[in-house]
Amino acid sequence: MPQIGWLEILFVVVVSILVVGPKDFPIMLKKIGNWIGAFKNYFSEIQNSVTNSDNFIDDEPSFSKDFEKLKNKKKDE
């Protein structure tokens, strides 16, 4: 995997300042930061929902065991 050095980062910053302009550069950085934050929050919510569904699936066998116990009790009566 290629590594990005300080010279490449400096080059990207200088080119982006020339393309966007010095006035709008901080605004662009803020928008990019907001997009990255929203992207992280979105995937964090997805990860939490998957984790919660895993916990639910792990608890599901106990429901089937309880159901089997109830069926056995009913047969015994």
**Alpha helix positions (H), the chain:** 6-20, 25-76
In sequence order, the 6+-apart residues with CB closer than 8 A to the CB of 28 are 16, 20
For residue 15, the model assigns a pLDDT of 94
Distance CA 29, CA 13 (A): 11
Give 56 or 44, the one with higher predicted confidence: 44
For residue 48, the model assigns a pLDDT of 87
Which residue type sits at 26?
P
For residue 70, the model assigns a pLDDT of 73
CB 28 within 8 A of CB 16: yes
Q: Tell me the pLDDT tens digit for each residue of 6-53.
A: 999 999 999 999 999 999 999 999 999 999 999 999 999 998 888 877
On the CB side of 20, how many CA atoms lie within 13 Å of its CA? 14
